[in-house]
A and B are shown apart, each in its own frame.
Chain A
Amino acid sequence: MSSATGTPAGSSLAPGAPITDGGVQESRWERAARAAQERGALAVLVLVVLVASFAFDTFATGANLSNIAIQSAFLAVIALGMTFVIITGGIDLSVGSVYALGGVLAAWGSQHGTWAALLVPLVVCGGIGLVNGLLIARGGMAPFIVTLATLLFARGLTLTITDSGAEVFLVPQGSSFSRLGQGELFGIAYPVYVALGLFALGALLLQRTAFGQTVLAVGSNEDAATLMGMRVQRAKLLAYVLSGTLAGFAGAMLAARSSSGVPTVGVGLELDAIAAVVIGGTLLTGGAGTTGGTLCGVLLLGVIQNVINQIGSLGSSYQSVVSGAFLIVVVVVQTFLSRRRR
């Protein structure tokens, strides 16, 4: 791939500019745009945290920060799976319901031991992900409508199991399963470590495995990936299985933490997860995105919520106003940058 043929005549390219996958040299502007896309969420996160630390004495305390971490951990695990799905160019609307289902199943299973508490939600929720994946990858149906149907289905199943919410399953006191949610190490709760560990695995999976590369390729150009002999259908299928399993696992962690399965949690959570992924720089059209960006997106939503709570005079309704406005700003900037890059 020679850089001379890829360079339009008369363009002012800095000598020695890095060469991207396409073999076309990046101008300084394009490099800046790419950095903003990939690292923008991190930059804004650092900025918001710095401002908040100066503005509120109560913000930068260990207790408050670990509070933000634990509150973000559950959304983070869900958003990790969503990142894979969105990079394939799909969407998973069912995660909020699957999260609730996972929690109820875990609380039910915990009465039969820790293994049951973990396996039952993972298998059932992974199964819902599998159904999503089969219908979308093999059936060729629109992700939006398929996962909308499983959103309804999973919520209905949750309510059926709990007798329309009347029956609440409790995790037995002192079981090793509840320690998974409630235990602490160095003052930070276990779910935070679990979430971080999963993100490390997720980053490896996306960037260092054939599956991850196929996921990225499917998102940028599905036909090309197919023609190159990549296992496109399998990658799409696995992305939805991953999303369902992780959402169910997040629900199980919540059940362990709160010692009960609450059938009403997670309504609208899919939107928070999508917002976090998009704020983290993953393109909704697919083909580009990072797990690190998603983590920053989740933390950013958590910090915004925390800051609004710190300003006592603002009600919790302001949180969604700020999140919504924030989302608009991010996508406008994102769209603008990607258009300039083209």
Chain B
Amino acid sequence: MTDTLAPPAPSPQRARTLAWLQENGVYVALAAVVVVNAVITPNFLTVASLRTQAIQVVPVLIIALGLALVIGTEGIDLSVGSVMALTAAVVPLYLGYGALPAVLAALAVAACVGVVNGWLVAVIGVQPIVATLALLVGGRGLALVFAGGQSKDIENEALLALGSDELLGVPYVVLVALVLTLLVAFLVRRTTFGRQLVAIGGNRTASDLAGLPVRRVLIVVYVISALLACVAGLIATARLEASDPSTIGNLIELSAITAVVVGGTPLSGGRVRILGTVAGALLMHLIRVTLITQDVPDSAAQMIQAAIIVAAVYVQRGRGTGQ
């Protein structure tokens, strides 16, 4: 079949280089940023500095893990920031009963959001961007209603320990991120569920005809995304030592989507790269840190970040379409 719409094929040598770059570009870029920082940023390779970077990247990273799964199904989840806000609003309501009930309540609320997202996408057939947009808008409003529009200080010791304590020199929050990354990577690579998820993203109609439980898988994916956003919300709240539903997680969905896409998971679905997502989150964070430590104003850093996103996606363009 002749496809007049496709661009002319590049020479084999160039195609191979391009393909390699598409696969591994994010790791190369990450290594480059680390090397550059090691040279130009004083004290970059100290334990204290690396720890700070790791802690700061954790919330975006955890959310990006969930988004990688959602994007793998050719979906998108814009409601993650609002789920963080809902978490921050719900936790203080139940903190009187102890940390565990408060955390469980927050997880339950998040699961509800995920079920609604998944139901709208999988059963009703609403486009993911609209379905989750509705909860982005409504969720934060709901969080503010729950919280009475106010931020509250958190005084529960168990919850605060999550934010500040460490095990063998590694902060709890980093351990949590590490465990979640391994779990999600295992889910994608080694379980039937993971294979079904990727298959659905590749071709939903075919998956449906092949008898895969498309609806169930999609709903579970959105629930996982919401639960991970809830964990990120718990961590952010614990780090902040306060619950502030009006600001927490604002625009975090954009950072997380960037991490996923820069990490090599295409927005067109059918492929999930967890290690790439981790590298993508680290890369975007380190670039920002580098620019700021070099006295580039935050506003200019934002513009450079935008250019990097475009460049990364431009390099990956065309993958999955006829190769």
Contact = CB atoms under 8 A, between A and B. Distances in A.
Interface of A: 91, 135, 139-142, 144-146, 148-153, 155-160, 164, 223, 226, 267, 271, 274-275, 278, 284-285, 315, 317-325, 327-328, 331-332, 335-336, 339
Contact of A144 (B129, B139, B305, B314): B129
Nearest to A270: B133
Contacts of B137: 271, 275, 320, 323-324, 327
19 contacts: A135-B310, A141-B314, A142-B268, A145-B257, A149-B307, A152-B306, A153-B306, A159-B302, A160-B300, A160-B303, A271-B136, A271-B137, A284-B127, A323-B141, A324-B138, A325-B134, A328-B138, A331-B134, A335-B125
Given A140-B318, A153-B303, A336 B124 contact: yes
A284 B132 CA distance: 13
Interface string B98-142: 000000000000000000100010001111011101111111111
A182 to B, nearest CB: 30
Interface residues on B, range: 35 or more
Question: SS class of chain B's interface: helix, strand, loop or mixed?
Answer: helix
Interface in B281-314: 297-303, 305-307, 309-310, 313-314
Given A145-B261, A324-B135, A155 B302 contact: yes
Contacts of B251: 267
Given A135-B310, A145-B313, A319-B141, A152 B134 contact: no
A284 B230 CA distance: 28
A152 B303 contact: yes
Contacts of B138: 320-321, 323-325, 327-328
B95 interface: no
A152 B302 CA distance: 6
Interface in B33-48: none
A152 B305 contact: yes
Nearest to A278: B130
Nearest to B136: A271
B248 to A, nearest CB: 14
A224 B130 CA distance: 26
Given A91-B129, A323-B138, A327-B134, A156 B300 contact: yes
B182 interface: no
A107 to B, nearest CB: 17
Q: Enumerate the 3 nearest inter-chain pairs by beta-carbon distance, A residue then B residue, closest first.
A: A324-B138, A320-B141, A159-B299
B187 to A, nearest CB: 25
A325 B130 CA distance: 12
Contacts of B124: 331-332, 335-336
B141 A141 contact: no
A270 to B, nearest CB: 10
Contacts of B129: 91, 144, 284
A156 B306 contact: yes
Most central of A91, A323, A335 by chain B CB within 10 Å: A335
Contacts of B313: 141-142, 145-146, 149
Contacts of A150: 306
Given A152-B309, A324-B136, 19 more contacts: A141-B313, A144-B76, A145-B313, A146-B310, A146-B313, A152-B303, A156-B299, A156-B303, A157-B299, A157-B303, A160-B299, A164-B297, A267-B251, A285-B127, A323-B141, A324-B139, A324-B141, A325-B134, A327-B130
B264 to A, nearest CB: 13
B319 to A, nearest CB: 12
Contact of A317 (B144, B261, B267): B144
Given A159-B299, A285-B127, A149 B306 contact: yes
A157 B135 CA distance: 30
B145 interface: yes
B144 A315 contact: yes
Nearest to A274: B133
A152 B305 CA distance: 8
Nearest to B125: A335
B213 interface: no
Most buried by A among B125, B129, B137, B138: B137
A156 B129 CA distance: 25
A40 B171 CA distance: 54
Contacts of A152: 254, 302-303, 305-306, 309
Contacts of B120: 328, 331-332
B189 interface: no
Contacts of B317: 139-141
B126 A335 contact: yes
A328 B136 CA distance: 11
B267 A156 contact: no
A278 B133 CA distance: 11
A150 B254 CA distance: 12
A242 B144 CA distance: 35
